Amino acid sequence: MSGTFVGMPAFPEAAREALADSQLRHNLAHATGTIRAKRAKVVAEVEDWEELRLVGAAVKERALLDLETQLVRLEETLTANGATVHWARDATEANAIVASIAKAHEAQEVVKVKSMVTQEIGLNEALAEEGIAAWETDLAELIVQLGDDLPSHILVPAIHRNRAEIREIFRSKMGAAGRPAPADLTDEPAVLAAAAREHLREKFLRAKVGVSGANFAIAETGTLVVVESEGNGRMCLTLPEVLVSVVGIEKVVSRWEDLGPMLRLLPRSSTGERMNPYTSTWSGVTPGDGPQEVHVVLLDNGRTRALADEVGRQALRCIRCSACLNVCPVYERTGGHAYGSVYPGPIGAILNPLLKGVGHDDQIDSLPYASSLCGACFEVCPVRIDIPSVLVDQRAQVVDAHRGGVPKPEAAAMKGAAYVLGRSRRLSALERFTGLGMRFARRFGPAAWIGARDLPDAPAESFRAWWLRTNGGRNDGGRKGDGTDD
Amino acid sequence: MRVALMITCINDALYPSTGKAVVRLLRRLGVEVDFPQAQTCCGQPMVNTGYLDEAVPVVRTFVDAFAGYDAVVTPSGSCAGSARHQHSIVARRSGDEALERAVAEVAPTVYELSEFLVDVLGVTDVGAYYPHRVTYHPTCHSLRMLGVGDRPRRLLEAVRGIRLVDLPGADQCCGFGGTFAVKNADTSIAMGADKARHIRETGAEIVVAGDNSCLTHIGGLLSRQRSGIRTVHLAEILASTEQSAVEEVLTR
């Protein structure tokens, strides 16, 4: 992947560009609509879904409230199982650890399980700088990587592409990365998948080092868990001699039995399946079976910062299912690239500010505003992250970070509104000019509104003025016999 | 029962006919409402844009105006949601414990109109008559913040003469979102354009909702498109009668 999110414009500008891409709009509306319907169908089958969501939230919350203990325990159990545990404060440290392990085995390439955290830290680019090729083996990640593209969805990173576009990418790019696509490649999904399978097979069989993330890390047993659909993960986790897993510290859960509810919640929320096809679990090294050298890199990279945020910390419960993306009306229209991060959509809009902090980067500061606060995300979240409330709290953090100095027009307008709305006398006085104001706004109002939307006609008098004049309609001539005049 | 009408700033300034409809409807159902003159706004524009300090005096004014009522009824799901779910955040921010206590007392008394009719008054047939083809857009805050469910729909279904047609993708946001409509205007308009397309597909004359803020956005788009579809607040349909229908025809 040669693309990068660094230096992306703020959300409104990036969204404007995305909204103009009619192919993107079409692809997204189709894909999100399909997956929304699938999810709704399988969730409706679970009678105790709302209770299950509470359990899911509680499992993650319990581990997060006791994070230090759980992580130390995880390190102990992993080590006892024969794994080597590394701690990384940030992306640079984590990337250096992975690179040094690959180099120690003189590996010039690694095969990768689909993993959000390795994208977050830019692992592929960091390895490329060390002369190590990192091959994505998830079908959609392969499409993104071959197309020198950026992921635009957590689960379906190539959701912005349709199958005709994928065929063109395979035809033109596969050859340079390994086995080329067959000459008679069509855009049938099964044919495209078969071409990817052939292309990837030689990489699976050749690679000495596998790299993964983890969906869950169980402190009690020292077990990592990867949940996937294609079996490429199983290949990467079992065939190479060396396995390196980069795991965000918020992935820890306390007990083996915590896995049950999470595995019921995740596939239904994510792919809209009752159960995902492949769930791999491994507890360190098993002699004579699978990788004989197992490393786990436990990564912070802003997670302890997020944990310190009383309202926002609930975002660390996220299990990366992407249900919030699929129901989000903003995401459906702008796609993921507009969010400028590997974490797009509603969860990305809160997670990026939490991990990186607000007040020093306009792109990050624009994300909490990339929502109409419709609440569809909270409704579907399997671990009940109240995304709208976190967004509103983060907006206050953004405003507070910019307080002091010369106020921007918006801040001045809000101060003016606070003055007017603090006393009804002031509001009442101002309302005498509503008609004038609307006429002015119609000609000189913000283009952002009047460019596409007409403004309503102003009434002859405000409700307040009418109430006073007619004593709440009682002295209004009773044209309709019921005391009001319209 | 002492009932106060919370008109909301947008209805006060731009849509007094909605407020008058609430008064007319409730009076017909035997409920006299007070209109506390001290009221201004729920403060949501500030809270949802991140200006919590600026919202403090507005919330203070709100609880002063509405303290002591058994019920505060408002023709807006969004403003009811703001009072019930956000005022406590503002009060906590102020550090004023008296304000926190006042908010805790007033917030639970606030009802969106359809909640008040169905849950407090226990009516779904309000005796309305409205001979039009109408489609209903459930606004996000009424649907997901308050959980009004099918109350507005049940009220509409009981209206005589109405032809209620289903809106495709009804529960998707219209794209208004307060200052979102201006801060992210392109996205807001794209969402609204799809909503307007769905409304046009229904063949309805009128789109009804429980929030005039959303209807300002939807209506602004429909009007700019010269679609010939008008927006009407739920209260105005529920307040309509055989007599007002005649007057509407004769005065048009």
Q: Which tens digits make up the pLDDT trace of A56-73?
A: 999 999 999 999 999 999
Q: Is the pLDDT of residue A479 over 70?
A: no
Report the distance separating Cα A182 and Cα B225, nearest Å. 49
The H or E element spanning position A209 is strand A209-212
A379 touches B at CB < 8 Å: yes
Q: Which two tokens stand for residue A352?
A: 């990026």
CA-CA-CA-CA torsion for B200, B203, B205, B206, nearest 10 degrees? -60
B225 touches A at CB < 8 Å: no
Identify which of A100, A406, A417 has the alpha carbon closest to the alpha carbon of residue A242: A100
- B interface test, pick of A389, A463, A470, A471 with most B CB neighbours within 10 Å: A463
Chain A residue closest in CA terms to B62? A422
Burial (CB count <10 Å: 0-12, 13-18, 19+), residue A409? exposed
Q: What is the CATH number of domain B133-251?
A: 3.40.50
CB contacts of A451 in chain B (<8 Å) are 185, 189
Q: What confidence score (pLDDT) does residue A171 get?
A: 97
B24 touches A at CB < 8 Å: yes
Three-class secondary structure of residue B226 per DSSP: coil
Q: Which tens digits make up the pLDDT trace of B79-137?
A: 999 999 999 999 999 999 999 999 999 999 999 999 999 999 999 999 999 999 999 99
Identify which of A80, A24, A481 has the alpha carbon closest to the alpha carbon of residue B27: A481
Q: Are the Cβ atoms of A395 and B188 closer than 8 angstroms?
A: no
Question: What's the rounded mean pLDDT across residues B152-177?
Answer: 98
Q: Which two tokens stand for residue A197?
A: 């399978």
Q: Which tens digits make up the pLDDT trace of A70-111?
A: 999 999 999 999 999 999 999 999 999 999 999 999 999 999
Q: What phi and psi values does residue B7 have, to the nearest 5 degrees?
A: -80, -30
Q: Are the Cβ atoms of A424 and B39 closer than 8 angstroms?
A: yes
CB contacts of B144 in chain A (<8 Å) are 374-376, 378-379
The H or E element spanning position A441 is helix A434-444
Q: Which tens digits make up the pLDDT trace of A190-238?
A: 999 999 999 999 999 999 999 999 999 999 999 999 999 999 999 999 9
Three-class secondary structure of residue A87 per DSSP: strand
- Separation in Å, CA of A317 to nearest CA in chain B: 21
CB contacts of B225 in chain A (<8 Å) are none
Q: What does the mean pLDDT of chain B come to?
A: 97
Q: Is the pLDDT of residue A485 over 70?
A: no
Q: Which tens digits make up the pLDDT trace of B183-193?
A: 999 999 999 99
A310 touches B at CB < 8 Å: no
Q: Which of B14, B220, B244 lies at the smallest CB-CB distance from A453?
A: B220
A440 touches B at CB < 8 Å: no
- Separation in Å, CA of B248 to nearest CA in chain A: 9
Q: What phi and psi values does residue A412 have, to the nearest 5 degrees?
A: -65, -40
> Which domains are delineated in chain A?
11-304 (3.40.50.10420), 426-470 (no CATH)
Q: If pLDDT is split at 50, 70 and 90, which confidence band does A8 have?
A: confident
Q: Are the Cβ atoms of A431 and B55 closer than 8 angstroms?
A: no
Q: What confidence score (pLDDT) does residue A16 get?
A: 96
Q: Percent of chain A scored above 70 by pLDDT? A: 97
Any idea where the domains of chain B sit in the sequence? 3-120, 133-251
Q: What confidence score (pLDDT) does residue A358 get?
A: 95
B209 touches A at CB < 8 Å: no
The predicted complex's ipTM stands at 0.96
Q: What confidence score (pLDDT) does residue B128 get?
A: 98
CB contacts of A483 in chain B (<8 Å) are 23-24, 27
A422 touches B at CB < 8 Å: yes
Q: What phi and psi values does residue A171 have, to the nearest 5 degrees?
A: -60, -40
- Separation in Å, CA of A438 to nearest CA in chain B: 9
B12 touches A at CB < 8 Å: yes
